[in-house]
Amino acid sequence: MPAPSPYTSPEQEADLRRLGSRLRDHRKALGVTAVACAESAGVSRVTLHRIEAGNPSVTIGAYCNVAAALGLHLVVPVVERTTGEPPTVTVGDYPGLRALAWQTDAGTTVTEAQALNLYERGWRHLDQAVLTDRERAFIQHLADTYSHGALLV
């Protein structure tokens, strides 16, 4: 069974899908079967399929092996992100989040990713009766945006 996929942003997911698609297109252009490519790269056919789908749980080494098997050299440039600041939330705006971040002031701001982390780590201690509909919708937004729709509790 494959390892669970780590959190990846929508931009990262799109990058991996593009990479997988380019590898698949190149393999097909060469007329190489998936089985032959996988064997040449030293990976299973299932792993090759996951690479071509852009699955983030596959190791970068496996991506490199597939590229090499196709006569390509995989180069991953490190580029500074040019987008603005990550979205933030004020701890005191949500009763459940405030209870989980009890050691901070109500006016403290955290990124949405940090808020998700607080909810996930403290879920078993959270009195769900205090969650408002607005906060429940916010938690679902965090799960959808940062962890593929699932709260990891």
pLDDT in the model for residue 11: 78
Return averaged pLDDT per consecutive 10 residues of the chain, 153 residues in all. 68 87 93 96 97 93 95 78 78 93 92 92 90 91 82 75
pLDDT in the model for residue 4: 65
pLDDT in the model for residue 2: 56
Q: Are 112 and 87 in contact (CB under 8 A)?
A: yes
pLDDT in the model for residue 80: 64
Q: How far is CA 132 from the centre of its chain?
A: 27
